[in-house]
Amino acid sequence: MDTKRMWRFAVMPLALAGVAVIPFVGCNAADALCCRDFVPGADLSDVEWGMQGEAELSYGAFMQAAADFTGTATAMITDVGNACQTIAVDLGAEPGEVTETQPDRRTRAWCDLADAKLVEAMASGSITIRYQPPSCTIAADVQASCEAKCSADVMCEITPGEIIARCDPGKLSGKCSGQCTGKCEGSANLAVRCDGVCEGTCEGNCAGQCSAQDAQGSCRGYCDSRCDGYCRGSCTFDAMANVQCEADCTGGCDVTVTAPKCKAELTPPSANCNGNVECNGSCKASASAKAECKEPSLEIEAAAGFEAVVSTLKLNLPKLVLVVEARADLLSANVQGVFDAAGSLTVDGTKAIACLIPAGDAMGQAVVNVTASVEASRKVTTRVGIP
């Protein structure tokens, strides 16, 4: 994340705190000013916040964005901490060596320890890593449905056709029952049929040089030419290939895709369905927090004696690369929408005012968690040669 984005994260809790100053400390279940409805990561779509008209819509979209952002940040810090813990323990650390319980401190400590164990394990040599960059698909249905509520027009409810119309054709993804003329999106955990260029691990015949082969001579690694077989990653089919994509097809299908998604931001809604800017910004933030992200396919080359390092990195490194190269950037790029919404809220009513307090606290911790996730992940990815 760049400096400007980090600054936006840092000022978010201050912006929330400035919306309303409440002269009390603490909250208990019997208190009329106690918020019981804001829960990080929860679906708040059925909550009534006690306001009217546009104010209720904008406040609801903001609170949902805050819940989505904080829920994703919590999941991210947990995933990174667990991945670093597994690497460290696999390379000789004791399972209880880190005693920190606060999520950001725990994650930093385990990733520091994983880094130290990697230094020890790699002292006598080096490894080479190739991987397909991770990718995220924006939750277009979440964004468009939210924007329809911002407009307060029941005729603006989301349809698959609207997602298709509002997505750059080169970034449109979905199920293709015909011929996929773009990329068939496999992953480290999903091998897709391939007759073309594999961005990942080729399993089958490689028309060029293959980085690794099995006992039968078939490719089981990076292929620098056409791959005929299966691909753990994205496969771009040859022009004359007649292979159906079993996964999502991105960037071209000769029939209309079903279950459409978008790997980029949607274009703005039509004029009659366009609500206020801040409400729509909250919708984009929710969609980015709920994006579907695929871990990268990973291949590691190492000399004999590095089996433990290779084994643990194959399992755990994709989770760290995903944070550094995809998930965190997506969150930081759209958190400005939450920031803008917080600064423009018109809030009245006891319930709405009270719920700004836990939302602000949760956003403050989310800022800390996202920052720690990126910095801790980067320590390990840099150690193994990923810039």
The domains of the chain are located at 3-25+35-130+306-383, 140-277
Q: Quick one: what percent of the chain has pLDDT higher than 70?
A: 91
Phi then psi for 134, rounded to 5 degrees? Answer: -70, 160
Q: Quick check: 327 and 293 in contact, CB under 8 A?
A: yes
Residues 241, 74: Cα–Cα separation, whole Å: 43
pLDDT at 53: 87
pLDDT band at 97 (very low <50, low <70, confident <90, very high): very high
pLDDT at 33: 67
**What is the β-pairing status of strands 226-237 and 172-175?**
unpaired
Kindly report, residue by residue over 254-300, the tens digit of the pLDDT: 899 988 989 888 888 888 788 788 888 899 899 999 999 988 888 88
Mean pLDDT of 197-208: 94
**Which of 126, 49, 92 is closest to 346 using CA atoms?**
49
Least confident of 8-22, 219-233, 240-254: 8-22
Q: What is the pTM of this model?
A: 0.84
Mean pLDDT of 9-27: 43
Q: Residues 298, 302, 308, 312: what is their CA dihedral angle, to the nearest 10 degrees? A: -10
pLDDT at 38: 95
The answer, yes or no, to whether residue 7 has pLDDT greater than 50, is no
Specify the DSSP element, H or E, that contains 330: helix 328-344
Residues 133, 383: Cα–Cα separation, whole Å: 18
Q: Which residues contact 360 (CB under 8 A, 6 or more apart)?
A: 13, 16, 17
The answer, yes or no, to whether residue 21 has pLDDT greater than 60, is no
Q: Which of 97-111, 118-132, 175-189, 254-268 has the highest mean pLDDT?
A: 97-111
* The token pair that represents 184 in the structure block: 């068939």
Q: Which residues contact 337 (CB under 8 A, 6 or more apart)?
A: 65, 278, 280, 281, 282, 283, 284, 285
The answer, yes or no, to whether residue 129 has pLDDT greater than 50, is yes
The answer, yes or no, to whether residue 28 has pLDDT greater than 70, is no
Mean pLDDT of 375-387: 94
The answer, yes or no, to whether residue 25 has pLDDT greater than 90, is no
Per-chain mean pLDDT for the chain: 86
Sign of CA dihedral 257, 260, 265, 267: positive
Helices 53-90 and 328-344, axial angle in degrees (round to 10): 150
More confident position, 73 or 158: 73
Residues 62, 340: Cα–Cα separation, whole Å: 10
More confident position, 345 or 289: 289
Q: Which residues contact 94 (CB under 8 A, 6 or more apart)?
A: none
H helices then E strands: how many in the chain?
9, 11
The answer, yes or no, to whether residue 19 has pLDDT greater than 60, is no
The answer, yes or no, to whether residue 221 has pLDDT greater than 50, is yes
The residue written with tokens 């903001």 in the block is: 62
Mean pLDDT of 166-195: 91
**Which of 291, 293, 239, 240 is closest to 265 using CA atoms?**
291
Specify the DSSP element, H or E, that contains 382: helix 350-383
Kindly report, residue by residue over 75-92, the tens digit of the pLDDT: 999 999 999 999 999 999
pLDDT at 174: 93
pLDDT band at 15 (very low <50, low <70, confident <90, very high): very low
Residues 126, 306: Cα–Cα separation, whole Å: 9
Instruction: Write out 34-66 in H/E/C secondary structure.
Output: CCCCCCCCCCCCCCCCCCCHHHHHHHHHHHHHH
pLDDT at 317: 96
